[in-house]
A and B are shown apart, each in its own frame.
Chain A
Amino acid sequence: MKISLDVNGQKRPLDIEPRVTLLDALRDDLRLTGAHTGCEHGVCGACTVLVDDAPARSCLMFAVQAEGSKITTIEALAAGPGELGIIQDAFCATHGLQCGYCTPGMILTAHALLRDNPSPTRAEIVDAISGNICRCTGYGQIVEAIELAAQRLRGANLEAVR
């Protein structure tokens, strides 16, 4: 089936089977491997992307369903190749990752949270990432990373970094 997806601001034509998930289309057809394949049934959050600016599980959507929506992946969050966005940098600064498998999903979830709520409480952060499973960190440093990112974003020129 021929479709066209809007991914990270670019029109991407695809010819795929309807049964291909958005996750597999991003990774295998568009070579955007930042969204990670975890449980493939909507439990782990490793495949989180933004669909029309809201976090969604790309394994719980067929790519054909995403036609007409704006898809944002982790690849779009840095200003350029080799650079890190503010939230990504905060994860490095606080050691908010170990193996890194859950990290793109965590960062996109944090990105959506901080866009809507620039000063989240710790409880709000914990609730926001409750759908993203991490098996390394114990979550403490991930929460710290999002707190640090929130603090830095509040002090930043937002137009310049978004």
Chain B
Amino acid sequence: MKAAAFDYIRPESLSEAAGLLASHEDARVIAGGQTLVPMMAMRLARPSLLVDIAHIEGLSGIADFGAYIGFGAMTRQAQAEKSTLVATRLPLLAAALPWVGHTPTRNRGTIGGSVANADPAAEIPLVLVTLEGSICWMSADGQGEIVAADLFSGPMSTEMPAAAILTEVRFPVWEGPPIGVGFHEASARRSDFAYVSAAAQVQVDQAGRCIRCTIGIGGALAFPKRLAGASKALTGSQLTAQDIAAGLSEDIAALEIMTDGHASSAYRRRVAGALAARALANARDHARGALR
């Protein structure tokens, strides 16, 4: 499997890259290439020009802005995985990263690339949606920010303008009382594409009661979705098994679940409910553990 012919340019600045994207209709950005290169090998993607953003100064790095942690689009997944800032401030992302591909793909794959490609099974977009983060983009015409709930529009597609470059991914930090996280996935093989994935983060008060909660489902849907109703319903509860089951039931029943030869929608819905409950229970226990 070989990619179709294309031109390749490695700009040194974002404005140069944005100009190239604006003047070439079939141009695509390449960052780590761990999604795009196999798609090109299979000729599911045939860009006429690749704009390699790997050498643009300032597009890589992890910074703490207080309310959120910002990741330059070119930040490698492996760099985030090893980051103590991520481990301490974004435990949900830290829990999800080992599920992203394998070590060799995380060494090349980027945080921004995973979000921009919007693979339905990808873990990083799920965490972004669950934590209600956002992305920043720029193009030859301007720049903007899009919140995660409005970002994804379908499998492998986002609401970013066509000639825009994703420049930064922002994950909100929960300050204050102890937080706990849970992350689960069901797939055929270790680190294969998830049939269903579930991410949860909760915050508890001194009595162990849930004072803030968020839960998201990925893999099973066209793009990851935060379960807003369940997240709200469970806030204020003790997160008992009964609370969790009752809180989740409506949102899980309403999910628009995909089906394919590997896993039916009925199976995926059942697993989504089970993994969401498990992720919430883990998050609860994890948060309460931090109280002691």
Contact = CB atoms under 8 A, between A and B. Distances in A.
Contacts of A1: 8
A130 B37 contact: no
A68 B55 contact: yes
Contact of B41 (A59, A65, A109): A59
Contacts of A41: 1, 38, 41-42
Interface string A1-32: 10000000000000001110100100000000
B34 A62 contact: no
B190 A17 contact: no
B290 interface: no
B50 A18 contact: yes
B104 A62 contact: no
A56 interface: yes
A57 B34 CA distance: 9
Contacts of A56: 104, 107-108
A19 B107 contact: no
B259 interface: no
B105 A62 contact: no
Contacts of A109: 103-104
A46 B229 CA distance: 46
A62 B190 contact: no
B8 A18 contact: yes
B103 A131 contact: yes
A120 B101 CA distance: 21
Contact of A18 (B7, B34, B101): B7
A45 interface: yes
Given A42-B37, A51-B108, A60-B34, A131 B6 contact: no
Nearest to A61: B33
B103 A42 contact: no
Contacts of A61: 33, 37, 108
A153 interface: no
B147 interface: no
B33 A18 contact: no
B191 interface: yes
Contact of B37 (A17, A62, A131): A62
A148 interface: no
Contact of B8 (A21, A45, A64): A64
A96 to B, nearest CB: 19
B16 interface: no
A78 interface: no
A89 interface: no
A103 interface: no
Contacts of B50: 18, 62
Contacts of A55: 103-104, 107
Given A51-B108, A65-B54, A131 B191 contact: yes
Interface in B1-49: 1-8, 10, 30, 33-34, 37-38, 40-42
Interface string A70-103: 0000000000000000000000000000000000
Given A40-B41, A65-B33, A131-B102, A18 B6 contact: yes
Nearest to B109: A60
B145 interface: no
B3 A42 contact: no
Given A42-B38, A62-B8, A65-B54, A57 B190 contact: no
Contacts of B55: 68
Contacts of A40: 1-2, 41
Contacts of B10: 64, 67
> Which 4 A-B residue pairings sit nearest by Cβ, starting from the closest?
A131-B102, A18-B8, A41-B38, A54-B107
Given A24-B2, A57-B108, A127-B103, 13 more contacts: A18-B8, A19-B6, A41-B38, A45-B102, A48-B104, A51-B108, A54-B78, A55-B107, A60-B33, A61-B33, A61-B37, A64-B8, A131-B101
9 contacts: A17-B5, A21-B3, A40-B2, A55-B104, A57-B105, A61-B33, A64-B52, A65-B30, A131-B101
